Structure 1
Amino acid sequence: MSRLDELIAELCPDGVEYRKVGDIANISRGKVMSKDFLKENAGEYPVYSSQTENEGKLGSITTYMFDGEYLTWTTDGANAGTVFYRSGKFSVTNVCGVIDNVSEDVNTKYLYYVLNRVAPTYVNSGMGNPKLMSNVMARISLPVPPLEVQREIVHVLDSFTLLTAELTAELTARKKQYDFYRDELLKPKADIPLVTLKEIATDIYRGSGIKRDQVTEEGIPCVRYGEIYTTYNTWFDNCVSHTQLEYVSSPKYFEHGDILFAITGESVEDIAKSVAYVGHERCLAGGDIVVLKHKQNPRYLAHVLSTQQAREQKSKGKVKSKVVHSNVPSIEQITIPLPPLDIQKRYADVLDNFEKICTDLNIGLPAEIEARQKQYEYYRDLLLTFAETGSTLVTDRQTDRQTDRQN
């Protein structure tokens, strides 16, 4: 019998009490902070927002709103319901909720692990904008075993989290190493001519708008510009989305070998991210996508357009209404080294192998991280539902959840 089994048998043999978040902690929200404000007040204290990339960090400023041990959660948008454990000095924006002043008989880290599991199930996705507002968070009912049991659960789950973090750090280091190697391999050389994309393009044009509600389970394969940032890496051979031809008034197609650029984005650093399509179906290009047709090796172009030298050229996009834009004339002027086709293929093959080691979920560190994450989720769910079986409070909890989803 494990230490946790012993504690449960001794301290809560008949199940545990369920309590609502609003009864065991204080709930508040952050405040509006613009990108200009962050730039004008740049400092050492992190500001967290609704994003999940980089642990939700949006920037750093000279002051802080909170100091201590807290939980935050994303209240609006695609990541609504994502919960973070925070400690130290920090601030949050208005799309973050804050949980503090946790009761003395509740371990904050334990509360984090429970909410990390259940909070996403309370997200209201109605009206196209997912939300988990403060009043709903306050009504979430959670199992609260004795502190000794909470601490032992935290100890077990922290062990899994630490291992995953160490593996992730190692993978991040390898990706940086890959980026450095790719940039060195593909940097301009005296014996390789430099050309503009305009010189190698056989055609270049913009796609046609496909709205989110026009994406269907079946139909014509298509790509929307946001998917270039979130779904596709250097190249892809299958589209994740489809639509119906009647939804698109002026359809624009892309085919095998074409390069797709996303010409609208949220950051100068990522604007005009590009991917190569190496599949064999004829697909539709959504709005804010530029399609480049050519007679070069598409995988080589995809790699060379991901280098730091190419990204610096792409970052000359114009900022309008806090959104970054690029256009066909800007993309046409991007300069790249262009070796003969046989050398292009050789470069592409080498870089594909390096990239696969860093990203393929079936091999190496990515596979190990994926396995550890699944193991963590399995034990998290097992540990945090230990008291639910046979508890009369489960029915109350499920009823609360159904009511909260409707509100």
Structure 2
Amino acid sequence: MLGGGVEYKSLREVCKTLPKGTLKKDEVNQTSQYPVINGGCELYGFYDKYNNEANAFTFSARGSAGFVSYFNTRFWAGGLCYPYTSKNENILITKFIYYYLKSQEQNIMDTLVARGSIPALNKSDIDNLKIPIPPLPIQEEIVKILDTFTELEGELEAELKLRQKQYKYYLNKLLSFENDGGGGLVQWLEMQEVFDIRNGYTPSKAKAEYWEGGNIPWFRMEDIRTNGRMLSDSIQHITKQAVKGKLFPANSIIVATTATIGEHALITVDCLANQQFTFLTKKQTVGNKLNMKFFYYYMFIVDEWCKEHVNSSSFASVDMAAFRKLKIPIPPLEEQERIVGILDKFDELVSDISLGIPAEIQMRKKQYEYYRDKLLRFEE
């Protein structure tokens, strides 16, 4: 902890609000120059114009509400985020503010985000956040230290991306069934023929009895980011009183169909998830024809389909009518098991957080969060 007596001011006092503008999905692409941030944790795409200069941070206002991003290049701020920069870099460094807010991100999500059908964050609540103002040399040193951690993690992630690219090549090759040799061994069925498809939901945060002492897993995007795509428990839990009807059964797939679209996980316990996710639960009539671990891998292809079939509106969501009719392959069970065996080995190398590069990245993240929180803890 650094010395006490640090002055705090509200965000509105030390930061200026930057311009933003709504873009339709068909206006962005992956080849233009300027990144576009909107309501998710990831970029919305790229655009050939920008509405903000470099050295700014944004809050996601919808969907992944409360997520904080920093931009060191010119960028386009969409309508579903709140962009800011420091009013005076000689008093308060924008990147220092970003690092401080990142340390408070989970608390912001837990306390300020309204959990309706779509999680939302009000700008007035953000403007009232208190920001510490230590001496400028201390800010500069903190930014330098945390930048170093970020760069080291970035190098590891770049190497991991190369391995993931190789993994994706083999995954697509193994899961391409468009031509099965004419033997008709692969059956193609619509999603709605194979799965019960239902939305997750968020129990009322106003009712303490829904949350206090709960032991039922309730999954959010944070669970995937923290613990990967094979999940047996969640970060947050709910009580039986919070459940409407029945829990979603174990061995269901959750897929994000709003906000951060195209992320999925295989859940191995009875559970609930928030409304960002759609549950895919295998119908009883399908029985042993489908190995859910095989479908978990095929979902990487479905993820890409989801990203390309989004309703054009101010809030991105998958075209669910088309999703229900999307045809998926069901090869013979022996072939499913053969593919699972191969992809499990690749998956260990690029996804298992207890092994190799993923394990080192996790260690770096924990170190970074430890020092970030220690460096950014001040007394008024």
Q: Same fold (TM over 0.5)?
A: yes
Counterparts of 1:381-396 in structure 2 under 5 Å? Answer: 381-385=373-377, 388=379, 394=380
Q: Secondary structure at 1:213's aligned position in 2? A: coil
Q: Secondary structure at 1:104's aligned position in 2? A: coil
Q: CA RMSD in A?
A: 4.6
Counterparts of 1:2-17 in structure 2 under 5 Å? Answer: 15=4, 17=6
State whether structure 2 residue 159 is matched by structure 1 residue 167.
no
C-alpha separation between the residues in 2 aligned to 1:30 and 1:194? 55
Structure 1 residue 86, shift from structure 2 partner:
1.8
Paired position in structure 2 for 1:196? 187
Deviations 1:218-254 (A, max 9, x none): 5887989x899889976656688777599556x6975
Counterparts of 1:84-103 in structure 2 under 5 Å? Answer: 84-94=69-79, 95-103=81-89
State whether structure 2 residue 294 is matched by structure 1 residue 291.
no
Counterparts of 1:251-290 in structure 2 under 5 Å? Answer: 254=249, 260=253, 265-266=257-258, 270=262, 279=268, 289-290=279-280
Tell me the TM-score normalised to structure 1 length: 0.68
Structure 1 residue 50, shift from structure 2 partner:
2.6
Structure 1 residue 345, shift from structure 2 partner:
2.4
Structure 1 residue 268, shift from structure 2 partner:
12
Where structure 2 has 5 or more consecutive residues not aligned to the other structure, the ranges are 205-209
**Counterpart code for 2:202:** R
Higher mean C-alpha deviation, range 94-103 or range 317-326: 317-326
C-alpha separation between the residues in 2 aligned to 1:357 and 1:68? 36
Q: Secondary structure at 1:170's aligned position in 2? A: helix
Question: How many matched pairs?
Answer: 357
Larger relative contact order, structure 1 or 2 (CA cutoff 8 Å, min sep 6): 2
**Counterpart code for 1:330:** K
State whether structure 2 residue 47 is matched by structure 1 residue 65.
no
C-alpha separation between the residues in 2 aligned to 1:17 and 1:340? 64
Tell me the TM-score normalised to structure 2 length: 0.72
Q: Taking structure 1 as reference, are residues 74 and 328 closer, same or farther at Cα in structure 2, changes over 3 Å only?
A: closer
The answer to whether the 8 Å contact 1:125/1:131 transfers is yes
The answer to whether the 8 Å contact 1:260/1:276 transfers is yes
State whether structure 2 residue 353 is matched by structure 1 residue 361.
yes
Paired position in structure 2 for 1:26? 15
Structure 1 residue 152, shift from structure 2 partner:
2.1
C-alpha separation between the residues in 1 aligned to 2:129 and 2:230? 45
C-alpha separation between the residues in 2 aligned to 1:116 and 1:274? 24
Paired position in structure 1 for 2:207? none
**Counterpart code for 2:181:** A
Paired position in structure 1 for 2:320? 325
Alignment partner of 1:158 out of 144, 147, 163: 147
The answer to whether the 8 Å contact 1:234/1:275 transfers is yes
Larger radius of gyration: 1
The answer to whether the 8 Å contact 1:24/1:103 transfers is no
C-alpha separation between the residues in 1 aligned to 2:24 and 2:240? 38
Where structure 1 has 5 or more consecutive residues not aligned to the other structure, the ranges are 9-13, 389-393, 395-407
Q: Taking structure 1 as reference, are residues 187 and 109 closer, same or farther at Cα in structure 2, changes over 3 Å only?
A: same
Paired position in structure 2 for 1:391? none
Alignment partner of 2:344 out of 344, 352, 365: 352
C-alpha separation between the residues in 1 aligned to 2:8 and 2:149? 27
**Counterpart code for 1:206:** D
- Percent of pairs identical after alignment? 24
